Amino acid sequence: MAEWIPDAAQPTWRIVENPNMQKFEGEEKFCIDIKVNSPSYVYAFCKQSSGALALMYPMKPENDQMQDKEAAISVGTAEITDKSKPNFQAFTFDNRSGTERFILMASGQKAKFLSDTALFDEFSKRALDLLSADDYVDGVETTVDVLGQKFFDDPAKAKSRVGLGGLMGDSVYLKLIELSHEPKAAGK
C-alpha cells in the first residue's frame, strides 16, 4: 500500500508493506499497488466500513485483460498514475472509525464482474469465507470450482493448463487487505 504524506514539501508517498497491522488516522489518502507474479486477470473489490461494496479494478472493460508477469497496477488512482503530480487522486479515509476491506483476486480465468454486478455480494461473501478459513497471511490459493464457476466467463477453460507454473487453468489467488482507521486526534 502507498500512503500519501500531506505535509511534505513535494508530493510524497510512503510504502506500507503490511497495512493490516496498522491503524490510520484522519483523512489520509492511499492507494493499493499490485504487482502481478504471473500472467493473470486481476480484480479488486472494496467493502467499506459502511457495508457498501464496489469493484475498484478493473473499472473499464478495456482494462479487464490478462495482465503480464511483473505488471504493476495501482488501485485507487482514478487513472492518474503519476503519483508525483498534484492532481493525483487516491482513496481517502473518511475521518471516522472503521475498517475498509479490500478483496484482491488473481486468476487464470476472466471473471464476469463487469458484465454482472449482481455477483458482487455473493462473491464477497464466498471470498471472505475462504480467506477466514485460512491463517495464511499472504492470501489463499483456491480453484474456480471451489470459489464458484458462476463468477467466471468460461469455466470450461478452467481445466486447461497453458504454461509452466503461475495462475493458469483453474487456479485463483485471493488476498484480503484490511485498513483500520480512526478520526485524527485534536491537536495532531
Nearest to 123 by CA among 132, 113, 110, 115: 113
Q: What is the pLDDT, as a whole number, of residue 160?
A: 46
Q: What is the pLDDT, as a whole number, of residue 171?
A: 87
Q: In 29-139, which ranges are continuous DSSP H helix?
A: 120-132
pLDDT, averaged in runs of 10, over the chain (188 residues): 53 67 74 86 90 89 90 72 58 79 91 93 94 76 91 71 50 89 73
Q: Any residues with CB less than 8 A from the CB of 89 and at least 6 apart, and which?
A: 77, 78, 80
Q: Are 85 and 21 in contact (CB under 8 A)?
A: no
Q: Are 169 and 161 in contact (CB under 8 A)?
A: yes
Q: What is the pLDDT, as a whole number, of residue 163?
A: 44
Q: What is the pLDDT, as a whole number, of residue 30?
A: 78
Beta bridge partners of 180: 23, 99
Q: What is the pLDDT, as a whole number, of residue 173?
A: 92
- Amino acid (1-letter code) at residue 79: E
What does pTM read for this prediction?
A: 0.81
* Grid cell for residue 130: 475462504
Nearest to 11 by CA among 19, 2, 24, 20: 2
User: Residue holding cell 487487505?
Assistant: 177
**CA 73, 76, 79: angle at the middle one, nearest 5?**
70
